[in-house]
Structure 1
Amino acid sequence: MSLKVYLRPEAEADIEDAATWYDRQRKGLGQEFLDDVLVALDTISENPNIYPVVHRQSRRAVVRRFPFGIFYRVDEDSVVVLAVMHGSRHPRHWKKRT
């Protein structure tokens, strides 16, 4: 059974900002980033506990091909995405969203 995935507004902004940045680097790359994020979100929905806990009850999935982590929390019947951040960002940026 898959769980419903909810993106916090900050996580949506993270995704939009990264896609825009990638598209400025090469036309179409932003869409490739979005596609890979969607694949990762589908995997999280289907198997939310497959990824490790990295802080309190927050887990991290890594986006294929791009150096981004999807930080999320599993609730009873849903997944809440807290942040989608570049791997070089300091953990404090997403931890304060938990």
Structure 2
Amino acid sequence: MIPVIFDPEAKSEFLEAVRYYEECQPGLGSRFKEAVESATKSISIAPFRYRILHKPFRRLLLFQFPYSILFSIEPDHIHIVAVAHSKRKPYYWLKRS
């Protein structure tokens, strides 16, 4: 497995979404957190299985939630650049590196 590092902004987006879902329905935030953690593990095991969305960024779509995990493959780690809602501000994360 390759180590995974979250961009500070991506970590903030992730935690904000967890809080939002937990406020909507108790337990839903935990389910979102588990989905992201599972997806992150999948990325760390086989990062090349996910298609390039906008070079060098790849995307994993979460099935249970309208979110994508955008990441780049670095020489010694995976860099998560965004935990992005699929219906908001497309490509806002491109300025992150």
TM-score band, normalised by the shorter chain? over 0.9
**Aligned 1:1-98 pairs, distance under 5 A:** 2-98=1-97
Where do 5+ consecutive residues of structure 1 fail to align?
none
What's the C-alpha RMSD, in Å, of the aligned pairs? Answer: 0.9
* Secondary structure class of the residue paired with 1:49: helix
Deviation at 1:41, TM superposition (A): 0.2
- Count how many residue pairs are aligned between Structure 1 and Structure 2: 97
Deviation per residue, 1:24-51 (Å, 9 max, x gap): 1101100100000000000000000110
The Cα of 1:96 is off from its aligned counterpart by 1.9
Mark the runs of 5 or more structure 2 residues left unpaired by the alignment.
Answer: none
**If the length of structure 1 is used for normalisation, what is the TM-score?**
0.94
Cα displacement string for residues 7-28 of structure 1 (whole angstroms, at most 9, x for unaligned residues): 0110100100101110111011
TM-score, normalised with respect to structure 2: 0.95
